[in-house]
Structure 1
Amino acid sequence: MTPAAQDHPQRVVLGGMWQICATAPGRFTSPTQLDALAPGEWLTSPHVGTAAALMRDAGRWSLDGPARRFDSEDWWYRTRFTPPSLEDSEPFWLGFDGLATVADVWLNGQPVLHSSNMFLSHECEVASQLVPGENQLDIRFHALDTLLAAKRPRPRWRVPMVPQQQLRWHRTTLLGRTPGWSPPAAPVGPVGAIWWERRDPLGGLRPQLHSSVDAEGRGQVRVHGGLGNLADAQIERIELELSRGGELWRLPLTIVDGRFEGTLTLERPALWWPHTHGEPALYDARLIAQRRDAPGPTTHGLRPVGFRRIEADTTDGRFGLKVNGVPVFCRGACWTPLDVVSLTSSHEALHAAVQQARDAGMNMLRVGGTMVYEGDAFFDACDELGMLVWQEFMFANMDYPEQDEAFLDSVRAEVAQQTARWQGRACVAVVCGNSEGEQQAAMWGAPRELWAPALFHTTLREAVEAALPGVPYWPSSAHGGAFPHQANAGTASYYGVGAYLRPLDDARRSALSFATECLAFANMPDERTVARMPGGLGLRVHHPGWKERTPRDLNAGWDFEDVRDHYLASLCKVDPVQLRSVDHERYLALSRVVTGEVMASAFTEWRRPGSRCGGALVWFLRDLWAGAGWGLVDDTGLPKACFYALRRVLQPVAVLITDEGVNGVAVHLVNERAEPLAGELSLRLYGNGDALVEEATLPVAVAARGDASIALAQHLGGFTDVSYAYRFGPPPVTLVHAQLKASDGQVVGEAFHFPAGPMLPVRDDLGLSARYEPERRELLLATTHAAQHVHVQFDEHLPVDNDFHLAPGAARSLALQRTGASTGRPLKGWVWALNARSPVPIVVPT
Structure 2
Amino acid sequence: MRTLHQGWTLTGAEHSGVPATVPGCVHTDLLAAGLIDDPFLDRNEERLSWIGRTPWTYQTVFDWADAGDEHVDLVCAGLDTVATVLVNGVEAGRTANMHRTYRFPVKEMLREGANTLEVRFDSAYAYAEARRDELGERPGAYPEPYQFIRKMACNFGWDWGPTLVTAGIWRAIGLESWSGVRLAEVLPTAGADGEVEVRFSVEGGAAAGGAAPGEGAAPGGGAVGGAAPGGGATSGGGATSGGGAVGGAAPGGGAAAGGGAASVEVVADVAGVQGCVRLAAGETQGVIRLRVQDPELWWPRGHGEPRLYELTVRAGDHVWSGRIGFRDVRLDREAFRLSVNGEPVFVKGFNWIPDDCFPARTTPETLRERMGQAIGAGANLLRVWGGGVYESDAFYDLADELGIMVWQDFPFACAAYPEEEPFAGEVEAEARDNVARLMRHPSLVIWCGNNENIEGYWHWNWKKQLRGRTWGGGFYHGLLPRVAAELDPARPYWPGSPYSGTPDRDPNDPQRGTIHIWTVWNAQDYTHYAAYTPRFVAEFGFQGPPAYATLRRASSDRPLTPDSSPQKAIGGQDKLLRGLGDHLPRPETFDDWHYLTQLNQARAMAFGVERFRALMPYCMGTIVWQLNDCWPVTSWAAVDGDGREKPLWYGMRRAYAPRILTFQDTELVAVNDTAQPWEGELAITRMSVRGETLAKESMSVRIEPRAVLGVEPAIGDLREGELLVAELDGARALRMAAEDPDMGYPEAAYTTEVEAVDGGVRLRVTARTILRELAVFPDRLDPDARIDDQLVTLLPGESTTFHIQTPRSLTPAALTTYPVLRCVNEPRPGPAA
TM-score by length of 1: 0.83
- Does the Cα contact within 8 Å between 2:775 and 2:791 map onto a contact in 1? yes
Residues 92 and 198, structure 1, Cα contact 8 Å, conserved in 2: yes
What is the deviation of 1:536?
4.8
3-state DSSP class of the match of 2:480?
Answer: helix
Aligned counterpart in structure 1 of residue 535 of structure 2, from 513, 522, 529: 513
Query: Structure 2: how far apart are the matches of 1:603 and 1:434?
Result: 24
Question: Is residue 2:446 matched to residue 1:436?
Answer: no
1:642 aligns with 2:671: no
Structure-1 residue corresponding to 2:545: 524
2:322 aligned with 1:303, yes or no? Answer: yes
Aligned ranges for residues 50-449 of structure 1 at < 5 Å?
50-61=25-36, 62-63=38-39, 64=41, 65=44, 67-69=47-49, 70-83=51-64, 85-150=65-130, 152=133, 155=136, 158-159=139-140, 161-165=141-145, 167-178=146-157, 180-199=159-178, 204=183, 206-213=185-192, 218-229=193-204, 231=206, 239-243=267-271, 249-257=272-280, 258=283, 259-287=285-313, 300=319, 302-315=321-334, 318-402=335-419, 404-447=420-463
Question: How many residues are treated as equivalent by the alignment?
Answer: 749
Q: Which residue of 2 aligns with 1:498?
A: 521
Alignment check: 8 A CA contact 2:745 2:770 kept: no
- Which moves more between the two structures, 132-141 or 233-242? 233-242
- CA deviation after TM superposition for structure 1 residue 251, in Å: 2.5
- Aligned match of 1:832: 822
Post-superposition offset of 1:329:
1.9
* Aligned counterpart, 1:32: none
Match of 1:295 in 2: none
2:216 corresponds in structure 1 to none
- Alpha-carbon spacing, 1:591–1:126, altered in 2? closer, same or farther (3 Å): same
Q: Determine the C-alpha separation between the residues in 1 that align with 2:748 and 2:737.
A: 23
Q: Which residue of 2 aligns with 1:844?
A: none
Match of 2:580 among 564, 568, 572: 568
For residue 179 of structure 1, report the CA deviation from its aligned partner: 5.5
Residue number in structure 1 paired with 2:609: 603
Relative to structure 1, the CA distance from residue 680 to residue 344 in structure 2 (aligned partners, 3 Å threshold; closer, same or farther) is farther
Determine whether 1:721 maps to 2:703: no
Q: 1:80–1:369: structure 2 CA closer, same or farther, 3 Å change rule?
A: same
Paired with 1:409 and 1:451, the residues of 2 have a C-alpha distance of 16
- Asked whether 1:585 is paired with 2:585, we answer no
Q: Distance in 2 between matches of 1:793 and 1:504?
A: 25
Cα offsets for 1:743-763 (capped at 9, x unmatched): xxxx3x333332322455454
Per the TM alignment, residue 260 of structure 1 is displaced from its structure 2 partner at its CA by: 4.8
In structure 1, the partner of 2:219 is none
The range that moved more, 791-800 or 630-639, is: 791-800
- The residue type paired with residue 659 of structure 2 is V
Percent identity for Structure 1 against Structure 2: 24
2:358 and 2:511 mapped to 1: Cα distance?
37
* Cα 1:625/1:695, change in 2 over 3 Å: same
Shift of 1:607: 0.2
The residue aligned with 1:813 is 801
Deviation at 1:623, TM superposition (A): 1.8
Cα separation, partners in 2 of 1:229 and 1:147, compared to 1, 3 Å: closer
Tell me how far apart the structure 2 counterparts of residues 650 and 380 of structure 1 sit (CA, whole Å). 24
**1:642-664 residue CA offsets vs partner (Å, 9 max, x unmatched):** 1111110112222222223xxxx
CA distance in 1, matches of 2:615, 2:533: 13
Give per-residue Cα distances to partners, 1:680-721, cap 9 Å, x unaligned: 4443332131222233454443333233223222xxxxx441
1:325-383 Cα deviation digits (max 9, x unpaired)? 22222122211122212444211211221121011111111112111110111111111
- Are residues 1:618 and 2:618 paired? no
Contact 1:435–1:476, Cα closer than 8 Å, also in 2: yes
Tell whether the 8 Å contact from 1:286 to 1:300 is kept in structure 2 after alignment. Answer: yes
Over 3 Å counting, the alpha-carbon distance change for 1:281 and 1:675 in structure 2 is farther
- What do the CA deviations read for 1:277-324 (whole angstroms, capped 9, x no partner)? 2222222322467x7xxxxxx794622221222222233xx4222222
Aligned twin of 2:568: 551
Task: Choose the corresponding residue for 1:476, options 490, 493, 496.
Answer: 496
Q: 763, 770, 777: which one pairs with 1:786?
A: 770
Give the residue type in structure 1 aligned to 2:795.
Answer: A
Q: Name the TM-score, length of structure 2 as normaliser.
A: 0.84
Larger mean Cα displacement after TM superposition, 276-285 or 523-532: 276-285
Answer yes or no: is the 8 Å Cα contact 1:67–1:184 preserved in 2.
no
Cα 1:485–1:262 shift into 2, 3 Å: same
User: 1:374 aligns to what SS in structure 2?
Assistant: coil
Q: Which has the higher contact order (CA 8 A, sep 6+)?
A: 2
Cα offset, 1:46, TM superposition: 4.7
Residue number among 755, 772, 783 corresponding to 2:737 in the alignment: 755
The 1:526–1:52 alpha-carbon spacing in structure 2 relative to 1, beyond 3 Å, is: same
Residue 192 of structure 1: how far off its partner (Å) = 1.0
Change (3 A) 1:90 1:834: same
Aligned CA distance change for structure 1 residues 669 and 642 (closer, same or farther; 3 Å): same
SS at match of 2:654: helix
Contact 2:273 2:292 in 1 (8 A): no
SS in 1 for 2:627: coil
- Per-residue CA deviation, residues 192-226 of structure 1 (Å, 9 max, x unaligned), is 1222223477863642211123xxxx231111223
Asked if the contact 1:589/1:834 (under 8 Å) is kept, the reply is no
User: Secondary structure in 1 aligned to 2:196?
Assistant: strand
User: In structure 2, how many angstroms separate the alpha carbons of the residues matched to 1:773 and 1:676?
Assistant: 41
Question: Is the alpha carbon distance of 1:451 and 1:825 closer, same or farther for their aligned partners in structure 2, counting shifts above 3 Å?
Answer: closer
**Alpha-carbon offset, residue 599 of structure 1:** 0.7
Query: Structure 1: any 5+ residue segments left out of the alignment?
Result: 1-10, 24-36, 244-248, 292-297, 554-558, 714-718, 723-729, 742-746, 841-846
Q: Secondary structure at the match of 1:92?
A: strand
Distance in 2 between residues matched to 1:464 and 1:823, nearest whole Å: 53
Q: How far has the Cα of 1:739 moved from its partner?
A: 3.1
Please tell me whether the aligned partners of residues 761 and 835 of structure 1 are also in contact (alpha carbons under 8 angstroms). no
CA separation in 2, counterparts of 1:565 and 1:138?
Answer: 52
| One-letter amino acid of the structure 2 residue matched with residue 310 of structure 1 | V
Residue equivalent to 2:635: 629
Contact 1:788 1:834 in 2 (8 A): yes
One-letter code aligned to 1:463: V
Q: Secondary structure at the match of 2:19?
A: strand
Please say if residues 751 and 768 of structure 2, whose CA atoms lie closer than 8 Å, have aligned partners that are also in contact: yes
Separation of aligned partners in 2, 1:654 and 1:163? 44
Any conservation in 2 of the 1:337–1:343 contact (CA below 8 Å)?
no
Show the counterpart of 1:489: 512
1:801-837 deviation digits (Å, cap 9, x = unpaired): 212222332223334444xxx3578686233322121
Q: Distance in 1 between matches of 2:359 and 2:293?
A: 45
SS in structure 1 at match of 2:113: coil
- Listed as ranges, the matches of 1:33-44 within 5 Å are 41-44=16-19
- Counterpart in 2 of 1:797? 785
Separation (CA, whole Å) in 1 of partners of 2:264 and 2:21 = 45
CA distance in structure 2 between the aligned counterparts of 1:190 and 1:750, rounded to whole angstroms:
52
Report the residue type matching 2:201 in the other structure: G
